[in-house]
């Protein structure tokens, strides 16, 4: 793991090194068209699934206030396009990245998008509070990620949600080896340095830990992406325990993983290990830590986090009471249901295409497939069970099936009906 000791240092006579790096190599590589992105987000169910991933118990709305912190070249414009009624604010200290976003704002008339060239550490100077903060691929590049997280928390509304993506150490071992190699040989983030590096990578031995990434990440073919990974002047990574500690120090609570199946003992290969009952008996954070070690190749961690003083806590679904019958399951966008060439005894196979681990394939029997078929984004679990009178599954077993769909990242739940029912109930008492 690499962690520079003098991170805020200035490049001779100019900008701090990280800012200078992103002025020269803005990331992600700039795009001119968001047409495809806009088409993808026309689907109202995709939007509902996205909303309830962060706020399972709040009624759906589209006019929330979003901060994209370290927005790079296009992320803020994409969010403004995805949520035209929302106020979206993008900040980044790279003028070049902000310029690229301004071009997209003009091209697509994203009138509610506001952009500021400023460091995250000074975000409170905006004098605004946000319902959602998106900060992906950024905090691990700060001189002090802790200061960055606290700055973001200070502008998050009490009921707001934060989406963070941070690097994970074990899957990135090959990257850190090559970063060290480049430092030792004086290969720097310049066009010449990148060309030299591309040439050297052609000769990298087949068993090098970086090879998996070179094979599987198409991103790596782009020079800016290569520089962002291998020639970055400042980058650190967080194991699961370090991530939980980081959140706690920043006054935040873990809500969920954006994709949680890879961390769940109940999903895929983890379910089959002889130690599964010992693993499942551990506290949740310990389960995740062990799973990260066993899986061995996670590159990043993407989490939803809340303020530690959030009214009502993280409000993730619970399946221990009858309340879950009121949850409305909504299919997640990247999921597909396969019904051909199935393994023996299977009626369908569910895959979330955003999963990177190939063992995360959920197999359904006939009764489960019927329940799954009842999901339309408006029917509650109770409705779906009632509409399936011939089902061989009990109500309990059906609820457990919906819990599994949730664990496997096949659905999120709109729990707002259940929440409004229980607050009516509380008022009546
Ligand atoms: C790897 S890019 C990620 C861009 C974007 N979040 C995304 O996921 O597409 C990191 C971005 O964070 C910005 N950045 C890094 N440190 C920052 C800081 N302290 N304040 C503001 N922006 C920063 C960089 O300029 C760069 O645009």
Judge whether residue 330 has pLDDT over 70. yes
DSSP string over 119-183:
-GGGGGGG---EEEEEEES-GGGSS-HHHHHHHHHTTEEEEEEEEEEEE-TTTTHHHHHHHHHHH
Quote the tokens at residue 35: 């047409």
* Ligand 1 neighbour 194 (Cβ under 6 A): no
Q: Does one domain contain both 399 and 278?
A: no
Q: Does one domain contain both 330 and 263?
A: no
Judge whether residue 246 has pLDDT over 90. yes
| Residue 42 counted as domain residue | yes
| Residue 99 counted as domain residue | yes
Instruction: Give me the pLDDT at residue 312, please.
Output: 84
Instruction: Give me the pLDDT at residue 427, please.
Output: 47
Q: Does one domain contain both 49 and 92?
A: yes
pLDDT tens figures, 75-95: 999 999 999 999 999 999 999
Instruction: Give me the pLDDT at residue 5, please.
Output: 34
| Residue 187 counted as domain residue | no
d(CA 42, CA 45): 9
- Please identify, by atom number, the ligand 1 atom nearest to the C-alpha of residue 97: 27
Domain end position, chosen among 307, 331, 357: 307
Domain end position, chosen among 249, 274, 307: 307
Domain span at residue 143?
17-169+236-307
| Residue 152 counted as domain residue | yes
Angle, CA of 318, 320 and 326, to the nearest 5°: 65
Instruction: Provide the CATH number for the domain around residue 295.
Output: 3.40.50.150
Averaged pLDDT for residues 236-257: 98
* Ligand 1 neighbour 132 (Cβ under 6 A): no
Number of independent structural domains in the chain: 2
Quote the tokens at residue 64: 């929330």
Domain end position, chosen among 280, 307, 334: 307
Q: Does one domain contain both 352 and 417?
A: yes
* Ligand 1 neighbour 22 (Cβ under 6 A): yes
Q: Does one domain contain both 274 and 382?
A: no
Q: Does one domain contain both 288 and 326?
A: no
| Residue 221 counted as domain residue | no
Q: Does one domain contain both 121 and 24?
A: yes
Distance 346 CA to ligand 1 centre (A): 45
pLDDT tens figures, 98-152: 999 999 999 999 999 999 999 999 999 999 999 999 999 999 999 999 999 999 9
Q: Does one domain contain both 247 and 351?
A: no
Instruction: Give me the pLDDT at residue 325, please.
Output: 93
* Ligand 1 neighbour 141 (Cβ under 6 A): yes
- Please identify, by atom number, the ligand 1 atom nearest to the C-alpha of residue 228: 1
Judge whether residue 2 has pLDDT over 50. no
Query: Residue 423: which pLDDT band, with cuts at 50, 70 and 90?
Result: low
Between 284-295 and 240-249, two packed helices, what is the crossing angle to 10 degrees? Answer: 140
Query: Residue 369: which pLDDT band, with cuts at 50, 70 and 90?
Result: very high
Judge whether residue 215 has pLDDT over 90. no
Instruction: Give me the pLDDT at residue 184, please.
Output: 95
Distance 246 CA to ligand 1 centre (A): 19
């Amino acid at each position: 793991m690499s962690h520079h000791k003098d991170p805020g240092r200035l490049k001779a006579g100019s900008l701090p090194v990280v800012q200078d790096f992103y002025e020269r190599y803005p990331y992600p590589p700039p795009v001119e068209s968001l047409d495809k992105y806009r088409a993808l987000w026309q689907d109202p169910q995709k939007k509902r699934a996205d909303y309830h991933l962060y706020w399972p118990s709040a009624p759906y709305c589209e006019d929330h206030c979003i901060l994209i912190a370290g927005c790079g070249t296009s992320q803020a414009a994409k969010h403004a396009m995805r949520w035209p009624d929302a106020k979206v604010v993008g900040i980044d200290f790279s003028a070049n990245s902000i310029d690229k976003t301004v071009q997209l704002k003009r091209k697509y008339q994203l009138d509610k998008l506001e952009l500021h060239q400023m460091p995250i550490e000074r975000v409170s100077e905006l004098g605004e509070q946000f319902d959602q903060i998106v900060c992906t691929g950024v905090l691990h590049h700060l001189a002090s990620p802790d200061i960055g997280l606290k700055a973001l928390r200070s502008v998050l509304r009490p009921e707001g949600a934060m989406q963070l993506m941070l690097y994970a150490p074990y899957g990135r071992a090959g990257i850190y080896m090559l970063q060290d190699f480049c430092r030792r040989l004086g290969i720097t983030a310049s066009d010449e340095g990148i060309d030299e590096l591309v040439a050297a990578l052609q000769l990298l031995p087949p068993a090098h830990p970086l090879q998996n990434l070179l094979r599987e990440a198409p991103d790596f073919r782009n020079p800016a992406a290569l520089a962002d990974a291998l020639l970055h002047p400042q980058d650190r990574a967080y194991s699961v325990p370090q991530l939980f500690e980081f959140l706690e120090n920043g006054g935040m609570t873990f809500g969920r993983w954006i994709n949680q199946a890879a961390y769940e003992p109940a999903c895929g290969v983890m379910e089959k290990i002889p130690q599964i009952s010992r693993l499942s008996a551990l506290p949740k954070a310990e389960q995740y830590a062990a799973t990260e070690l066993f899986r061995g190749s996670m590159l990043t961690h993407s989490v939803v986090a809340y303020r530690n003083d959030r009214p009502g806590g993280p409000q993730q679904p619970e399946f221990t009471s009858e309340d879950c019958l009121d949850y409305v399951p909504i299919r997640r966008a990247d999921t597909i249901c396969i019904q051909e060439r199935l393994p023996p005894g299977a009626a369908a196979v569910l895959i979330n295409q955003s999963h990177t681990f190939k063992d995360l394939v959920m197999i359904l029997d006939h009764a489960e497939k019927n329940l799954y078929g009842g999901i339309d984004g408006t029917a509650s679990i109770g409705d779906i069970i009632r509409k399936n009178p011939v089902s061989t599954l009990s109500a309990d077993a059906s609820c457990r099936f919906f819990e599994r769909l949730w664990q496997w990242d096949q659905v999120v739940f709109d729990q707002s009906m259940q929440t409004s029912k229980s607050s009516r109930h509380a008022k009546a008492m």
